[in-house]
Amino acid sequence: MKLTIKDLSLSYPQRKILEHVSFSVKTGEFVTLLGTSGSGKSTILNLLTGITQKQTGTIKVDHEEIQGLSLHFAYMPQEDLLLEWETVFDNVCLYQRIHHQPIDAAFVMKQLALFGLKGYEKAYPNELSGGMRQRVAFLRTVLCDADILLLDEPFGALDVITRGDMQDWLHEIRGKLNKTIILVTHDIDEAIYLSDRILILGGKPASIQKEFHLTEQVRSREWLYANGALRNDIYHELKGETNAD
Ligand SMILES: Nc1ncnc2c1ncn2[C@@H]1O[C@H](COP(=O)(O)OP(=O)(O)OP(=O)(O)O)[C@@H](O)[C@H]1O
């Protein structure tokens, strides 16, 4: 399903936050919205989920115009928001339980293994490490019926090593998820490592300043560390210095 966002603008009484934000995301694509703090990344996700009401512009999934809440999107916030009194298994099936849908236990167990949680299905969240908790929250998001996942700084609260491990893991399994993903981050390396495409959000009010298409070669950590040029280009684009000598 193709997501098309056209001319989204949003103002709060004191300030215009977004102006003419337009971009599209293809089925199965992994797109990262990269921007500095306060640039409006979360605001865009909130508009997609319907948490924030749209003022102008259109959001379409294929030819369907989205107004307010939509089942096309599943949102994963920075905090894992796990239910501490429920097991890992029950946490990841929360969506099905709320909607009284049947749970395919064998499928869930398979997914738990893919998410590095095999053997932890009966554990409670307080028995897990920070990285594992994030993987539980991520799996809960993946198991929602949505085709487009919105990930808002999912690794933001983790230490640098755990964050790196999570990025390696997501890098490895992303092809198996069969989902379209929009990631929000201010981490340039994370964006380069994981994405098919990076959209730079910047300016006041913010709009999409530039996009970077990434090739297969770019997506290895070795490449990332050995080649600074792309990182440098993105850094300066984020800083808004591309036209400065
Ligand atoms: N309810 C609100 N009223 C007024 N201003 C708001 C409101 N919500 C957000 N903002 C402002 O909108 C701007 C964009 O916020 P947003 O959270 O989308 O940024 P962000 O890029 O996700 O930042 P971060 O990376 O720090 O999470 C910020 O300047 C924020 O202060």
Task: Give the residue from 232, 158, 239 showing the smallest Cα distance to 189.
Answer: 232
Region of residue 119 (left: phi > 0; alpha: psi -120 to 50; beta: else): left
Helix/strand/coil for 228: coil
- Which residue owns the Cα nearest ligand 1 atom 6? 12
Q: What's the rounded Cα separation, in Å, for the pair 235 and 202?
A: 12
pLDDT class of 112 with cuts at 50, 70, 90: very high
Q: How far apart are CA 89 and CA 124, in angstroms?
A: 9
Q: What is the mean pLDDT of residues 4-25?
A: 94
- End-to-end CA gap in the chain: 42
Condensed to tens digits (0 to 9), the pLDDT of residues 68-82 reads 788 899 999 888 899
Average pLDDT over all residues of the chain? 89
What's the DSSP call for residue 180? Answer: E
Q: What is the β-pairing status of strands 3-12 and 56-61?
A: antiparallel
Nearest CA to ligand 1 atom 9: 43
Distance CA 175, CA 130 (A): 24
Q: What is the mean pLDDT of residues 146-165?
A: 87
- Residues near ligand 1 with C-beta < 6 Å? 12, 17, 35, 37-43, 186
Mean pLDDT, residues 53-59: 89
Tell me the per-residue pLDDT of 15-42, one tens digit each, with 9 for 90 and over: 999 999 999 999 999 999 999 888 999 9
Give residue 154 CA to ligand 1 midpoint distance, Å.
17
Q: What is the pLDDT of residue 245?
A: 44
Helix or strand run (H / E) with residue 88: helix 88-92
Topology at the third CATH level for domain 3-72+147-241: Rossmann fold (3.40.50)
Q: Mean per-residue pLDDT for 142-149?
A: 89
**3-class DSSP string for 10-37:** EEECCEEEEEEEEEEECCCCEEEEECCC
Average pLDDT of the residues in 212-239 = 84
Instruction: Give me the mean pLDDT over the 223-234 stretch.
Output: 84
Of 14-28, 115-129, 230-244, minimum mean pLDDT range: 230-244
Using most ligand atoms within 8 A of CB, pick from 43, 49, 53, 187 the residue to mutate for ligand 1: 43
Q: Output the pLDDT for position 151.
A: 94
pTM for this predicted structure: 0.90
Among 163, 172, 5, smallest CA distance to 73 is for 5
| Ligand 1 site-directed mutation target among 14, 32, 37, 41, most atoms within 8 Å of CB | 41
Q: How far is the C-alpha of 179 from the C-alpha of 111, rounded, in Å?
A: 14
244 — pLDDT class (breaks 50, 70, 90):
very low
The answer, yes or no, to whether residue 67 has pLDDT greater than 80, is yes
Give the list of residues 6+ apart from residue 136 with CB closer than 8 angstroms, or none: 80, 82, 88, 91, 92, 115, 117, 125, 128
- Gap from CA of 151 to ligand 1 centroid (Å): 16
CA angle 233–234–235, rounded 5-degree value: 90
What distance in angstroms lies between residue 244's CA and the mean position of ligand 1's atoms?
27
